[in-house]
């Protein structure tokens, strides 16, 4: 969600509308980008230009449209911080798995009930998974909670985007007599077999992280009690259950390690969801820099692939708004065994159903750094400032400038943005033409856009500079940038002495756009 700020009175305008239903019915080639040419994680942005903020979830396909479900961290949820709010669960939709549309929250998580269940004073709520029940014609959502005994809560909706409504608390076979609000069960996946039977694979924390698989009731709202324990020996989590041909697979994090960037991925196979299961085989020592999250069947023109996803956690930060994603197909041998993973920079897919996504079209858009290949960095505070120049492409009024930013480490002062004329080198000169202060609470923990309206006259061909700074002595404000693709958007520069001397950063571009009308 974009935050719009005026140079006159400061405004916080938050508007979210539900887009029209999308459909994707024809073949389409898409390219998923995980890393840039230097091997650095790249940020996935939605069609509004905001970083996708849905983690530890899954990609599901309903009616030819791809849906990304996950836990949001942008509002400031921090695991173990008692006053940290719960941000809720988000869903994004896409027709190409590249351009994502933020469809909002699965349910209202701002209520007192949900804050008391999931905020930082609790163990948190995670891992949204959605399946469709053909018999009841409902979408069923399971989430992991730690305020009850069973460790889960269940919801239903008539649409994959929600809103979802909570139903009766489920029952499961394992840890049914354990203490309420204890570390009993968690970290799960839901799966629907070809015959319509549903299953849940979940982690039994009471046995130090063994995996349990249990058959669900016909409506998928609870367990039947039919289950198999100790699919793994322990010290595991994050199971993903799927079927390929006549063989069932469960992948899992090996070992378990919350928010760790680089745990292994192993798998087991069976001829039935309830086993018996084979010995485990490790296919990655580091999950391509993350922790396994899901495996989703995706139909291509040549048949099905099994898309593996891992959360590229941000160095075990307790707030994971800056975490990225790794998505690539698993590869199989003739006998059905999974080959060791080879981490891929880009993945081309010939989707059986898909179409090109489109970014939001902004009237009067003049300069735009785009969304491709950006990474992030955080260091703006004190005497260290950042700047980005741009050349006006037309005469008119500069009605909007947007810069992508975020906060981390709890800054103790707000952020300021100033607009200057540029010298011949694209560096600031003279006094500020306009300036604005942005309160710390108005900056997201995720890489989102801050937009503001200078409302000053622009001259075509004239170069200007925006400067981002903060008086904060703690934490920092960050920015998104790319320096691997040639850009003609202007000059990025840095000063470490509070603006006395700027140094241009050759080939670098911050993520921004301008609107001139």
**Among all chains, which residue has been given the structure tokens 């700074």?**
469
pLDDT tops 70 at residue 106: yes
User: What's the pLDDT score for residue 238?
Assistant: 97
487 pLDDT tier (thresholds 50, 70, 90): low
Q: Is 3.30.750 the CATH classification of the domain at 365-516?
A: no
pLDDT tops 80 at residue 350: yes
Q: Which residues is 324 bridged to in the sheet? A: 312
278-320 residue pLDDT tens = 999 999 999 999 999 999 999 999 999 999 999 999 999 999 9
Give the integer Cα–Cα distance in Å for 402 and 407.
Answer: 16
C-alpha radius of gyration, the chain, whole number: 24
234-243 residue pLDDT tens = 999 999 999 9
User: What's the pLDDT score for residue 7?
Assistant: 35
Give the integer Cα–Cα distance in Å for 424 and 426.
Answer: 6
362-409 residue pLDDT tens = 999 999 999 999 999 999 999 999 999 999 999 999 999 999 999 999
Return residue ranges of the chain for CATH 2.115.10.20.
52-354
Question: DSSP per residue over 252-275, as a string?
Answer: EESS--TT-TT--EEEEEESSTT-
424-472 residue pLDDT tens = 999 999 999 999 999 999 999 999 999 999 999 999 999 999 999 999 9
User: What's the pLDDT score for residue 484?
Assistant: 78
14 pLDDT tier (thresholds 50, 70, 90): very low
Give the integer Cα–Cα distance in Å for 74 and 310.
Answer: 19
Return residue ranges of the chain for CATH 2.60.120.
365-516
Alpha-carbon separation of residue 502 from 141, 386, 467 (angstroms): 52, 9, 11
User: What's the pLDDT score for residue 35?
Assistant: 97
Q: Is 3.40.50.620 the CATH classification of the domain at 52-354?
A: no
């Amino acid at each position: 969600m974009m935050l719009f700020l005026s140079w006159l009175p400061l405004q916080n305008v938050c508007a979210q509308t539900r887009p029209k239903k999308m459909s994707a019915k024809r073949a389409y080639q898409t390219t998923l980008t995980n890393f840039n040419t230097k091997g650095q994680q790249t940020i996935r942005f939605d069609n509004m230009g905001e970083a996708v903020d849905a983690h530890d979830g899954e990609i599901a396909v309903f009616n030819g449209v791809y849906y990304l479900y996950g836990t949001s961290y942008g509002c400031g949820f921090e695991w173990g911080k008692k006053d940290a709010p719960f941000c809720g669960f988000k869903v994004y939709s896409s027709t190409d798995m590249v351009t994502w549309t933020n469809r909002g929250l699965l349910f209202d998580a701002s209520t007192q009930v949900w804050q008391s269940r999931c905020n930082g004073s609790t163990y948190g709520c995670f891992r949204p998974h959605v399946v469709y029940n053909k018999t009841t014609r409902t979408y069923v959502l399971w989430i992991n909670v730690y305020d009850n005994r069973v460790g889960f809560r269940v919801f239903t909706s008539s649409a994959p985007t929600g809103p979802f409504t909570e139903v009766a608390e489920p029952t499961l076979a394992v840890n049914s007599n354990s203490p309420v609000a204890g570390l009993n069960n968690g970290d799960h996946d839901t799966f629907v077999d070809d015959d319509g039977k549903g299953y849940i694979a979940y982690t039994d924390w009471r046995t130090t992280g063994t995996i349990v698989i249990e058959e669900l009731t016909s409506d998928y709202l609870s367990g039947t009690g039919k289950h198999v324990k100790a699919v793994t020996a322990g010290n595991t989590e994050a199971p993903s259950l799927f079927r390929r041909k006549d063989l069932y697979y469960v992948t899992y994090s090996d070992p378990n390690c919350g928010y760790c960037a680089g745990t292994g991925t192993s798998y087991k196979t069976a001829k039935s969801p309830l086993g018996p299961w084979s010995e485990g085989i490790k296919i990655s020592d580091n999950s391509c820099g993350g922790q396994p999250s899901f495996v989703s069947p995706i139909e291509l023109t040549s048949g099905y692939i099994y898309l593996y996803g891992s959360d590229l956690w941000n160095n075990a930060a307790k707030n994971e708004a800056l975490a990225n994603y790794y998505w690539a197909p698993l590869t199989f041998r003739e006998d059905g065994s999974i080959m060791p993973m080879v981490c891929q920079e880009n993945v081309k897919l010939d989707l059986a159903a898909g179409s090109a996504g489109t970014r939001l079209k902004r009237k009067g858009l003049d300069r735009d750094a785009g969304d491709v290949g950006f990474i992030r960095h955080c260091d703006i505070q004190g005497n260290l400032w950042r700047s980005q120049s741009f050349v006006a492409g037309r005469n008119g009024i500069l009605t909007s400038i947007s810069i992508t930013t975020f906060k981390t480490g709890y800054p103790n002062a707000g952020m300021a943005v100033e607009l200057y004329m540029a010298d011949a080198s694209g560096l600031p000169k003279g006094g500020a033409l306009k300036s604005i202060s942005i309160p710390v609470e108005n900056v997201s923990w995720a890489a989102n856009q801050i937009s503001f309206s200078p409302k000053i006259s622009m001259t075509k061909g004239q170069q200007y500079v925006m400067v981002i700074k903060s008086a904060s002595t703690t934490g920092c404000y960050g920015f998104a940038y790319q320096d691997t693709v040639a850009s003609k958007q202007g000059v990025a520069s840095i000063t470490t002495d509070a603006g006395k001397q700027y140094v241009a950063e050759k080939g670098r571009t911050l993520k921004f756009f301008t609107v001139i009308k």
